[in-house]
Amino acid sequence: MKITAYNCRPDELEYFDRFAAQYGVELALRKEPAKPENAGDAEGSLCISIVVSPMKAELLRRLHGLGVRYVSTRSIGYDHIDLGAAKEIGLHVGNVSYTPDSVADYAVMLILMAARKVKGILLKSAAQDFSLAGVRGTVLSRLTVGVVGTGHIGRAVIRRLSAFGCRILAYDPYENDEVKRSAEYVPLDRLLAESSVITLHVPATRENYHLIGASAFAKMKDGAILVNTARGSLVDTDALIGAVESGRLGGAALDVVEHENGLYYNNLTGKALSNRGLAVLKFFPNVIVTPHTAFYTDQSVSDMVENSIKSCKLFAEGEKNPWQLV
């Protein structure tokens, strides 16, 4: 069985080699993302593996015409794939799972960095200003933290937060018994109103688009902190900028932003950013911005490559596939 893997980074190669041998598959590795111009590279492959490059209708039709029947994205999120077009042409799509510990660790790190004003401390230190002015932080145990989304990652975040002794509120349409031992499920509006820190762990669905917008910011406590390690489309960037500028929001820590595709994972040193919202957010002293790296650990990279190969193999063999979406 042959799999064409696009978007292959150098750090993934050892895992591709290891798991191709383990699962007995032939790999054609491509550094470039899948595009209509290089779709021909997938000829002879029943399945392809991608990361987060856009998979629009034209490209999906081209791949289907070449005999590709399954697209596996090496990510949990799949909003970069036109699922409607895939269904229409009979192309199947799957995502992967990876350890929730990577993103959970990172989310808690960002919460602590924001609460302790680490960005301000680093900026002052870089200018050799070692005074205490403007960098007094807050003790996490004295705060109420609201966790929006209690799937695998949200639950892992709650387990970590429980060790700090903070009050934890949770919101999810589907409640979980494990969560109830450490947190209180409440309606979203109450979570927004009572939480000093709000951390997002929900998928980028149509229903969740701009989940945190102007009305949500208006319901938050003055000085609240927003943390987003999930998906950029959950937060209305213009509303976020307005909340920071007005002082309504005490700070934010963002590993993801709207319209990050084409920017993140590229070296853009010396270039003007085409994403004005990102450019503005980067320069607020109380907003931490990192380039979608919460997932990025050795274990997660291994899991993403292995589970993409496993998903393709299960599809090819007609076996039950826990990652298949359509």
123 in any annotated domain: yes
322 in any annotated domain: no
- pLDDT of 9: 96
> Annotated catalytic residue: which of 30, 231, 258, 306?
231
323 in any annotated domain: no
Number of domains forming the structure of the chain: 2
* pLDDT higher than threshold 90 for residue 57: yes
- In whole numbers, what is the pLDDT of the chain averaged over residues? 97
* pLDDT higher than threshold 90 for residue 53: no
Ramachandran category for residue 91: left, alpha or beta (phi over 0 → left; psi -120 to 50 → alpha): beta
321 in any annotated domain: no
Tell whether 32 and 157 lie within a shared domain: no
Tell whether 7 and 86 lie within a shared domain: yes
Question: What residues make up the domain containing 111?
Answer: 101-289
At 129-171, the pLDDT tens digits run 999 999 999 999 999 999 999 999 999 999 999 999 999 999 9
- Distance CA(205)–CA(219), nearest Å, equals 22
Tell whether 149 and 185 lie within a shared domain: yes
310 in any annotated domain: yes
Tell whether 20 and 142 lie within a shared domain: no
- pLDDT of 113: 98
Tell whether 6 and 62 lie within a shared domain: yes
Tell whether 107 and 39 lie within a shared domain: no
- pLDDT of 278: 98
Query: Looking at residue 11, which CATH number applies to its domain?
Result: 3.40.50.720
* pLDDT higher than threshold 90 for residue 60: yes
Percent of the chain with pLDDT over 70: 100
260 a catalytic residue: yes
Question: Side chain identity at 288, as an amino acid letter?
Answer: I
Percent of the chain with pLDDT over 90: 98
> Annotated catalytic residue: which of 12, 30, 155, 260?
260
Q: Please state the rounded mean pLDDT for residues 301-326.
A: 98
Q: Please state the rounded mean pLDDT for residues 18-25.
A: 98
Tell whether 105 and 68 lie within a shared domain: no
At 178-192, the pLDDT tens digits run 999 999 999 999 999
- pLDDT of 52: 86
274 in any annotated domain: yes
* pLDDT higher than threshold 90 for residue 64: yes
Tell whether 138 and 84 lie within a shared domain: no
The pTM score is 0.94
Tell whether 274 and 131 lie within a shared domain: yes
280 in any annotated domain: yes
211 in any annotated domain: yes
Tell whether 29 and 130 lie within a shared domain: no
* pLDDT higher than threshold 90 for residue 262: no
- pLDDT of 219: 98
> Annotated catalytic residue: which of 155, 201, 292, 306?
292
* pLDDT higher than threshold 90 for residue 271: yes
Tell whether 94 and 117 lie within a shared domain: no
At 89-137, the pLDDT tens digits run 999 999 999 999 999 999 999 999 999 999 999 999 999 999 999 999 9
At 207-244, the pLDDT tens digits run 999 999 999 999 999 999 999 999 999 999 999 999 99
Contacts 24+ apart (CB under 8 A), 39-42: 39/63, 39/66, 40/66, 41/4, 41/6, 42/4, 42/66, 42/68
Tell whether 226 and 306 lie within a shared domain: no
